[in-house]
Structure 1
Amino acid sequence: MNLPNRITIARIFLIPIMMVFLLVDFSFYPSPIIWNSYELPFNQLIAAIIFIIAASTDGIDGYLARKNNMVTNLGKLLDPLADKLLVAAILISLVQMGKCESWIVIIIISREFAVTGLRQIALLSGEVVAASNWGKVKTVVQIIAIIAMLINNFPFVFLNIPFDVIATWAAALITLYSGVDYFVKNKKLLNI
């Protein structure tokens, strides 16, 4: 197994570890980080760090695979799967924690299923649906929104700016737009 695939598998293995830190009651852990009116539970900070590490490996594995001519069928399967598992797991957890609206998570996850289905149809036709620029923007904005929610809107909380809410709405809108964009650009695959 090559290095890019190992990095992708490591990203998948980080997901349950992140979930444990995020969702298990760690009341025996050190006190939360408290500064003025800002509070961040220690376990939530650890989950945020794990998420940042996992999300950053997404670009690394793909870059290494392309640069070193190590693109494999296993990597083509695992990389998008790891991305979707990471984002879905954290967003569903954030809904459970009351930090994200469920309808936003439904939009994001539905878009991922829809575009994955479109890619499967393309494969059956012998074509490949490449990642679009809007798809890349969507990923970055989703990661920023998730991090903002995980760290309880730091540092914007001190400025009374609901950056986490703004970023989450932006993620939903860009996700929706990028999904529509994929289908409009590839409508020939649907035989409409």
Structure 2
Amino acid sequence: MTAENAAVNQPGRTEPGPVPVLNIANVLTVSRLALVPVFLVALFWAGGHDVVWRWVATGVFALASITDRIDGDLARRRGLVTDFGKVADPIADKALTGAALVGLSLLGDLSWWVTWIIVGREAAVTGLRFWVIRHGVIPASRGGKIKTLLQAIAIGCYLLPLGDAGEVVRWTVMGAAVLATVLTGLDYVVRALRLRAVGKRATA
């Protein structure tokens, strides 16, 4: 009897069932996506530069950003990874970040070239994911996680009503975020090309 058969014939042993789509990790992901319009309303309310509403917008953005870390940890620790989550999680992340960057640029608080670099990079990476998806999935790198953290902190600095006193801090953190965005984007291109080359050789 093989080890596989022995495992199957063990009394009381059950195979793990499929992971339900409706789980806490996916609920948090959808909640983050649902917070995007709430964030935009708070950001643009009262003309976009009301101190109270900027604090509200910052709080909503921070709450949504925190769920990004929590849902991923829960999915991995509790085995709640689903195909829905794999698709919805990056969409929610990009929707939140993109909405914040575009909103700040529309209000004149952030230069458009910064927004286009970050949004363009994210769109390009998404396209690369679909380009190599049949060959495999490129895991998130440590650099990518640092990039996401820097973007969130930089956006938070621009959302906070710090006035001219925070200008140096805002530009410093956003500069680091833009640099990380570009470098990790180039790294993703290299890894995508390698994965596609390996996949082609494997199928040849």
* Fold equivalence (TM over 0.5): yes
The equivalent position to 1:181 in structure 2, one of 184, 187, 191, is 187
| Aligned residues of 1:9 and 1:78 also touching (Cα < 8 A) | yes
Counterpart of 2:157 in structure 1 is 148
Q: Does 1:56 align with 2:62?
A: no
Counterpart-to-counterpart distance in 2, 1:161 and 1:82: 29
Q: Give the C-alpha shift of residue 13 in structure 1.
A: 0.7
TM-score by length of 1: 0.85
Counterpart-to-counterpart distance in 2, 1:163 and 1:147: 11
Aligned residues: 176
Counterpart of 1:11 in structure 2 is 32
| Aligned residues of 2:157 and 2:169 also touching (Cα < 8 A) | yes
| Aligned residues of 1:153 and 1:163 also touching (Cα < 8 A) | no
Distance 1:42 1:118, change over 3 A: same
Counterpart-to-counterpart distance in 2, 1:44 and 1:129: 37
Counterpart-to-counterpart distance in 1, 2:83 and 2:25: 12
Q: RMSD over aligned Cα, in angstroms?
A: 1.9
- Give SS of 1:25's match: helix
Q: Does 1:110 align with 2:120?
A: yes
Q: Does 1:25 align with 2:51?
A: no
Q: 5+ residue gaps in structure 1?
A: 33-39
Counterpart-to-counterpart distance in 2, 1:65 and 1:124: 23
Counterpart-to-counterpart distance in 2, 1:122 and 1:161: 40
- Give SS of 1:124's match: coil
Stretches of 4+ moved more than 4 A in 1?
none
- Give SS of 1:63's match: helix
Q: 5+ residue gaps in structure 2?
A: 1-21, 198-204
| Aligned residues of 2:138 and 2:191 also touching (Cα < 8 A) | no
Alignment of 1:162-173 (within 5 A): 162-173=168-179
Amino acid at match of 2:174: T
Counterpart of 1:131 in structure 2 is 140
Amino acid at match of 1:133: R
Q: Give the C-alpha shift of residue 169 in structure 1.
A: 1.4
Counterpart-to-counterpart distance in 1, 2:132 and 2:124: 12
Q: Give the C-alpha shift of residue 190 in structure 1.
A: 5.5
| Aligned residues of 1:153 and 1:162 also touching (Cα < 8 A) | no
- Give SS of 1:130's match: coil
| Aligned residues of 2:51 and 2:161 also touching (Cα < 8 A) | no
CA shift digits 1:56-92 (9 cap, x unpaired): 1001001101111111111111100000000000100
Q: Does 1:101 align with 2:107?
A: no
